[in-house]
Amino acid sequence: MTNFEPNKPEEEKENRETAKDNLSEDLNPPSSEDEDNTTSESSITKLPQILEKILPEEVKRKIPNSTKKEMEVFLSMQRMGMGSPLGNLTEKIQPSHITQFLENDAKQDERAFLESKESKKYTLYYVLIFCVLFVFVTVYLVQNDIKIYQDLIRLVIVFLGGFGSGIGYKTLRDKRNK
Encode pLDDT of 49-82 as tens digits: 777 777 888 888 888 888 888 888 877 776 665 5
With H, G, I as helix, E, B as strand and everything else as coil, classify residue 29: coil
Q: How far apart are CA 63 and CA 45, in angstroms?
A: 10
**Quick check: 35 pLDDT over 50?**
no
**Quick check: 143 pLDDT over 50?**
yes
Q: How far apart are CA 155 and CA 148, in angstroms?
A: 11
**Quick check: 20 pLDDT over 60?**
no
pTM above 0.85, yes or no: no
Q: Give the 3-state secondary structure percentages of the chain, helix then strand then coil, rounded to 5.
A: 75, 0, 25
**Quick check: 27 pLDDT over 50?**
no
Buried (b) or exposed (e) across 144-163, using 16+ Cβ within 10 A?
A: eeeeebeeeeeeeeeeeeee
- What pLDDT does residue 15 have? 57
The pLDDT mean for the chain works out to 75
| Average pLDDT score over residue span 15-42 | 47
The candidate with the shortest Cα–Cα distance to 23, out of 84, 77, 66, 74, is 77
With H, G, I as helix, E, B as strand and everything else as coil, classify residue 105: helix
Domain positions in the chain are 10-27+45-83, 99-137, 145-178
Q: What is the pLDDT of residues 108-124, one digit of tens each?
A: 999 999 999 999 999 99
- What pLDDT does residue 32 have? 43
Among 7-11, 34-38, 157-161, where is mean pLDDT lowest? 34-38
